Amino acid sequence: MRNWNFLNYPFHQYPNYTESDLGVHYSPKNTSFKIWAPTALEIIVRIFQNGVDDNLLQTIQLVKSNSGCWEGKLEGDWKDHFYTIQVRDAEGWLNQVPDIGAKAVGLNGNRGMIIDLAETNPENWNKDHGPSIKSPTDCILYETHIRDFSIHPDSGINHKGKFLAFTEEGTTSPLGVKTGLDHLSELGITHIHLLPVADFHTIDEDSTDPLQYNWGYDPQNFNTPDGWYSTNPYDGKIRIKEFKELVKKVHQKGIGVVLDVVYNHTGLIFNSVFNQTVPGYYYRQRENGTFSDASGCGTELASGRYMVRKYIIESLKYWATEYHIDGFRFDLMGIFDIDTMNQISDELRQINPNILLYGEGWTAGPCPIPKNDRAVKQNAFRLKNIAVFCDDIRDGLKGHWGSHNSQGFISGKTMGEEKIKFGIVGAIHHPQIVYHFVESSPEAWAKAPTQCVNYVSCHDNYTLFDKLRISCPNATEQEYVQMIKLALAVILTSQGIPFLHAGVEFLRTKSIHGNSYKSPDWVNWIDWNRKKQYFEVFEYCRKLISFRKQHPALRISSADEIQKNLKFLDPYIPDVIAYELHRGNSNDSFKRLIFIFNGTKNSSRVPIPIANWQIIIRKDSFDDSGLKKINKDHIKVPGTSMIVLGEK
């Protein structure tokens, strides 16, 4: 029985390997193998005809070289064959697995595949690139899951649940509304945020069971796409080529691709590729030698160890270069140490200076890293060009995520305005915010609005519509519509980076399932028929996005500019927020704007400075040339709505 307790293991004494040539490298003349396994006594590489059957063709022994590495060569052209490595250490033989950096795998990720990566490139792949962005605040993020996006029977998409669904144009629902990729273009978002696409453990890629489902936060092989989303999971090249086709087509629409990455833990523990290569090293341990679990999933990667940090950085650089990825969202980023995150930022910006990086600024459990060294939101000011989710505005808008019946600004709670104001300024310090009323953040944590991702819902927990149905069970359908419009108005006009959960723009529901990570399709899918049903909400969201793009005053990247030019208006009115925004250095077409959000059901009389104002947004009406002129010291704002005034 192998001992999985690592009390007093001298991991710090393991040799570090500084070069970037680890892994499996193909050429027509030979395929080389280089594996870092300092505790190994022997390593065998087995070559197979395919990725599933008992069809062993050849076995080679690797030879120990320097700095804990083992290496060897397989002479001849072995393209499209499969392989495993197996390590023997002082406790015996470990399992057969791909190498930890495998760039192609077969069915269910159990064997690596020897491929020529050039053969996976779509036509003109060398000319592909994502959108150019001047500032992260110019981005509008849209989070979706590969399968959810297209699997509904009425999506009008042929490649349901697959990468290729994102390459189809001209798709519509039976009710005639645009779906899929055309919907993204119509809506106007700048980046899609894809839930994990890297090879994950729980799904059987060979099964057609319609009930099997997973979000993908249980990574198995970090450097290759998952076969569940490909048209042929047996051939490791196909999933790579099809994912590249997705990226290319999305880029052609002027939209960037952000990957949700899960480097904080692995789906498997003892049988993971890491523990089957160098047992214990890649994971943090508690003081008693057992695996630490700040991820809530059984393990957490030891980001501060040299070879772990090297692995994570090289993996991210590989996705950025090989797949032309435009940004990364880090799951449970608080599990990482700050130094690792800053090195990630430095290295990736050498590839793409405008790459978008953001993550969850918290952990899911106790973590051995000292609090001051964690990449949590309270330490965001020490992170280099990395943004953090603003859960303050999220809970302020709809109610606390962990309290089902709690309400927020849009649903009737009063005295919660400071949380909303906190997000409106992009989580920076602002002299008019009373921080002890923010509760979850007693002080500003962003040094610039570029570090703040504002959102009201995401894949976690209830959809916004479902949360409102639980917390406001007696509301009418039209009241739900107005609440969601108000939430979208706040998110899409605030400073910082706006983030939308796919389908929020037409009241997406998961049938009141709060944690749907393995619920079936009928719970998770995007029902495109709802777009027709709630088309007024879609149109409102689309217009808000267009409005944000037209007004650079909403996309300020400097804390100083916000402090100078954004002023909250007096007097205090419960559940009403009003502020004046001067254009400053933004070259906005308006000299100044006034935003008023009314969270009450009733209309509110709100004092405003006397000037030659134009009403440019009121209810569902948008017009930059002015809906109506107003020159009074007050304005009536309808219940549960936003009004925007502009002075030329």
Whether 360 sits among the annotated catalytic residues: the reply is yes
Catalytic residue among 138, 235, 300, 360: 360
Token representation of residue 46: 């087995």
Beta-sheet pairing, 497-501 with 141-144: parallel
d(CA 641, CA 493): 13
- Residue length, the chain? 648
Dihedral angle, C-alpha 15, 70, 39, 24, nearest 10 °: 100
Residue 525 DSSP code: S
How many Å is the maximal CA-CA distance in the chain?
Answer: 85
Token representation of residue 625: 């040339």
Token representation of residue 330: 């880090």
Token representation of residue 28: 């027509």
Catalytic residue among 205, 331, 337, 417: 331
Token representation of residue 316: 């991210």
Beta-sheet pairing, 30-36 with 23-26: antiparallel
d(CA 351, CA 339): 19
Q: Whose CA is closest to 81, among 120, 108, 49?
A: 49
Assess contact for 643 and 618: CB atoms under 8 A: yes
H/E stretch holding 564 reads helix 559-565
Task: Compute CA 50 distance to the chain's CA centroid, rounded to the nearest angstrom.
Answer: 34
Token representation of residue 42: 């022997």
Token representation of residue 172: 């519509």
Assess contact for 83 and 47: CB atoms under 8 A: yes
If phi over 0 gives left and psi between -120 and 50 gives alpha, with beta otherwise, what is residue 640?
left
Count Cα atoms within 13 angstroms, Cβ side, for 504.
30
Q: Which residue has the tokens 């197979």?
A: 48
Whether 331 sits among the annotated catalytic residues: the reply is yes
Token representation of residue 490: 């706040």
Is the peptide bond preceding residue 571 cis, with omega within 30 degrees of 0? yes
Residue 7 DSSP code: T
Give strand pairing partners of 444.
Answer: none
Catalytic residues: 331, 360
